[in-house]
Amino acid sequence: MNQIFEVLGFLLIVFTLLMQWEIHVRRIIILFAASSFIIAIFLVLLGLSRPHEEYLLFVLAGLTIVVRGITIPVVMNKALRRLYNKPWRVREDKPLFGVGGSILLSLVLIAIGYFIYQNSLYSVLKVRSGSVPFALFLQASLLIISHKHAYIQMIGFLVMENAVVMLSGWVFGGLPFIIEAGVILDLLGLVVVSSLIIRVRESAILREGDTYESELRG
Amino acid sequence: MNQHIIYLLPIFFSLFGAIICIIPVRYLDRVASVIASVLSLSSAIYILFRPVYIDGFLYIDGLSKLLILTIAMVYLSTVLYSLSYLKHIENLLFQHRLYYILLNIFVATMFFSVSVNNLGLIWVGIEATTVSSALLIATENNQVTVESAWRYVIIVSTGLVISLISITFIYGSAGTLSLHELLLHHPDNRVFMIGILLGIVGFGTKAGVFPMHTWLPDVHGKAPAPVSAIFSAVLLPVALYAIARFIQIFPSDTIKLFALILGVLTVAVAALMMTVQSNYKRMFAYSSMENMGMILIGFSLGGYGLLGAVIIIVSHGLAKSSVFFLTGDVLSIYHTTDIQKVHGLIQRLPRAAATLFIAAMAVTGAPPFAIFVGELFIFSVLITQYGWLLALVVILFLAIAFISVNFKTGKMIFTGNESFKRERSRTETWVAIVNLVLSFIVVLFIPYFELLLKNLL
């Protein structure tokens, strides 16, 4: 089963790399939906791999498909349609890294994830390839910091959450159902609220241009 | 009545307030919010005198009780202040009704976070505070407030993902997330310790702890006054509450030292940033950050350091909400947050000016306010555990913060040669005055705090 998990983890990293290269927001949303389905498959397999079948993991997989795989992408697409006349043409204008740079950085991040895991946790956890969720987490961070478009930053955050689901399931056998369900509900609320904020933000930027930089300095 | 239900009353009342606000009847949102906040405060006071309660779902000890009380007091004052303040906002993003719905839900999530007996549910509650409060920041609809709301969502949520990883580590190594069980016994291995360390960093993001504090001045600088007040007074301490529990679970030297270093760095960065602020709301935001740093130092020291931290939480909550309410009064008269452009406040708004002057002294730890006493407790433990040198360094930064805030506040209040017309005094200023008086009175209740926190000291 561990080998199948490794393949799924690798697929998730590839999907995140594709998100990194892609400039059209709509396609990035589709890639995120696809990666959420992979997470759902992972949860089903995790449930099947247990000595006693864990039905709550199947419920969680169903919730993941409904919320992460369908509802969140639909909400984001709807928000895009309300904001832009041609939502399929919305794109990141100024990605921080080109394709070459992002491949290089991604490889570096995978190496860093592996290094951190191997040197700090492997001796205790003894889970082979447990560094994959860490690498995925770092990739998602890169997605956030290398893009200015709010939707792509939001997707970066959602990929981070996917990495945590994978980490908890693969390395630690999963979190209690009530916590996982709470996390998913929070996520849904966050996406709805964020879509609203992004809509107001983007329409203000379209109207006035970026005027906030001097006032928000962190 | 079932004991369990009594401890759930603050959550129930605030949620009930939110539900009533949905009904589209004129002024019902305001009436329902006032009633909900009064009932929440009454139940919080009642809970204060009830015994410690621990079951599978709830964990209500002295620390939780004092936080519930602080949240309830600031909740009531925020609702009362909002009643008249919202009238001054010209370009509202949404109807008053939605503002009160979100405010009530936001408070309910904070009550929930400090009441539950599960680290995972504490995470769920604190993440829910982000969901419910993000739109409140953008109440005043303009590009800058919306941008600061977005930054808040993305920075805080990312930080909270780190704390979710920490929860995963803790559950993976201990096999439970029950606060009660973890306090009784926990594993002593590397995974558990990394989990605790990540938790401090992750929840520290929400508490405005260095180096993940960048959202804090932006949000406090741009959110409407009542929202800045409730954020600064109780949202930041609720996140620190999670950190306090992490330290309480695993009080190893490494964890305590890590929290202490973060606390000292937070105080230092906040104090230095205060010296260069030209926006009074951002300046007070950094003052909140400085106080959170002191609270974190207190938690890391434990014992009477923890008592000092709790005294600061309660007193700072009341005094800082008073300060932010008053900045709302100033903003609505001067229409600017630039310190240089605010003169003669004592002539234009004498009552608000005098209160702001005293409140600024209170939040910067001037005697005889309770924050000063809390800091004394923390320093006495700091000197015992780490010696004079570190204590002197922290005192130096506190002195810088004290001078910066009070000099700049004094400048706004007392400078200006020309004579200004006195403005009509505002009823909402009384809310700030009451909070300031309460913040002073806290000093009288310190022996009772000690009694409540007996098991933790």
- The helix/strand/coil state of B59 is strand
Structural domain boundaries enclosing B443: 253-457
A71 touches chain B (CB under 8 A): no
A218 touches chain B (CB under 8 A): yes
In the Cβ-directed half-sphere of B234, how many Cα atoms lie within 13 Å?
32
Rounded Cα–Cα distance for residues B105 and B99 (Å): 10
A120 touches chain B (CB under 8 A): yes
Contact across the interface for B138 and A197, Cβ inside 8 Å: yes
For residue A183, the chain B residue with the least C-alpha distance is B124
Using CB atoms, pick whichever of B150, B161, B191 lies closest to residue A201: B150
Nearest partner of B377 among B320, B318, B311, judged by Cα = B311
Contact across the interface for B130 and A120, Cβ inside 8 Å: no
**Residue A100: per-residue pLDDT:** 79
- The helix/strand/coil state of B301 is helix
Residue listed under structure tokens 């961070």: A141
Residue listed under structure tokens 């009533």: B20
Rounded Cα–Cα distance for residues A162 and A35 (Å): 8
Contact across the interface for A179 and B121, Cβ inside 8 Å: yes
Contact across the interface for B161 and A175, Cβ inside 8 Å: no
What would the pLDDT profile of B86-133 be if each residue is shown by its tens digit? Answer: 888 877 878 889 999 999 999 999 999 999 999 999 999 999 999 999
For residue A120, the chain B residue with the least C-alpha distance is B190
What are the C-alpha distances in Å from B30 to residues B77, B82, B129, B137?
13, 9, 21, 19
Rounded Cα–Cα distance for residues A151 and A162 (Å): 16
Does the residue B266 lie in any domain?
yes
Does the residue B316 lie in any domain?
yes
Contact (CB, 8 A) for B66 and B111: no
What would the pLDDT profile of B34-50 be if each residue is shown by its tens digit? Answer: 999 999 999 999 999 99
Interface list for B 48-107 with A (CB within 8 A): 93
What would the pLDDT profile of B191-231 be if each residue is shown by its tens digit? Answer: 899 999 999 999 999 999 988 888 899 888 888 999 999 99
Nearest partner of A60 among A147, A160, A183, A191, judged by Cα = A183
B42 touches chain A (CB under 8 A): no
Instruction: Taking residues B267-289, report their average pLDDT.
Output: 94
Rounded Cα–Cα distance for residues B310 and B452 (Å): 11
Does the residue B142 lie in any domain?
no
Most A CBs within 10 Å, among B146, B170, B182, B278, to test the A interface:
B146
A167 touches chain B (CB under 8 A): yes
What would the pLDDT profile of B424-451 be if each residue is shown by its tens digit? Answer: 777 788 999 999 999 999 999 999 999 9
Residue B153 has pLDDT above 80, yes or no: yes
Contact across the interface for B134 and A197, Cβ inside 8 Å: yes
**Residue A208: per-residue pLDDT:** 67
Instruction: Tell me the average pLDDT of chain B.
Output: 91
Contact across the interface for B131 and A171, Cβ inside 8 Å: no
Residue of A53 and B83 predicted with greater confidence:
B83
B223 touches chain A (CB under 8 A): no
Q: Which residues of B touch A212 (CB under 8 A)?
A: 143-144, 147-148
Contact across the interface for A211 and B191, Cβ inside 8 Å: no
Does the residue B449 lie in any domain?
yes
**Residue A213: per-residue pLDDT:** 53
Q: Which residues of A touch B138 (CB under 8 A)?
A: 197, 200
| Shortest Cα–Cα distance, B214 to chain A (Å) | 4
Contact (CB, 8 A) for B325 and B225: yes
Using CB atoms, pick whichever of A186, A196, A215 lies closest to residue B124: A186
**Portion of chain B with pLDDT greater than 90, in percent:** 71
The ipTM estimated for the assembled molecules is: 0.86
Give the residue ranges of DSSP H helices in B250-386: 253-275, 280-301, 304-334, 345-348, 350-363, 370-386
Instruction: Taking residues A212-218, report their average pLDDT.
Output: 57
* E strand or H helix at B108: helix B96-113
Residue A218 has pLDDT above 60, yes or no: no
- The helix/strand/coil state of B140 is strand
**Residue B356: per-residue pLDDT:** 94
* E strand or H helix at B60: strand B59-60
Using CB atoms, pick whichever of A121, A153, A216 lies closest to residue B191: A121
**Residue B312: per-residue pLDDT:** 96
User: B389-396: long-range contacts (C-beta < 8 A, 24 or more apart)?
Assistant: B390/B264, B393/B264, B393/B268, B394/B264, B394/B267, B394/B294, B394/B297
Using CB atoms, pick whichever of A141, A175, A211 lies closest to residue B120: A175
Does the residue B267 lie in any domain?
yes
The torsion angles phi and psi of B116, rounded to 5 degrees, stand at: -85, 155
Does the residue B192 lie in any domain?
no
Rounded Cα–Cα distance for residues A49 and A47 (Å): 5
A1 touches chain B (CB under 8 A): no
Does the residue B437 lie in any domain?
yes
**Residue A23: per-residue pLDDT:** 82
Residue B374 has pLDDT above 70, yes or no: yes
Residue A6 tokens read as 């490794």
What are the C-alpha distances in Å from A105 to residues A96, A113, A121, A148?
12, 12, 23, 18
Question: Total structural domains in chain B?
Answer: 1
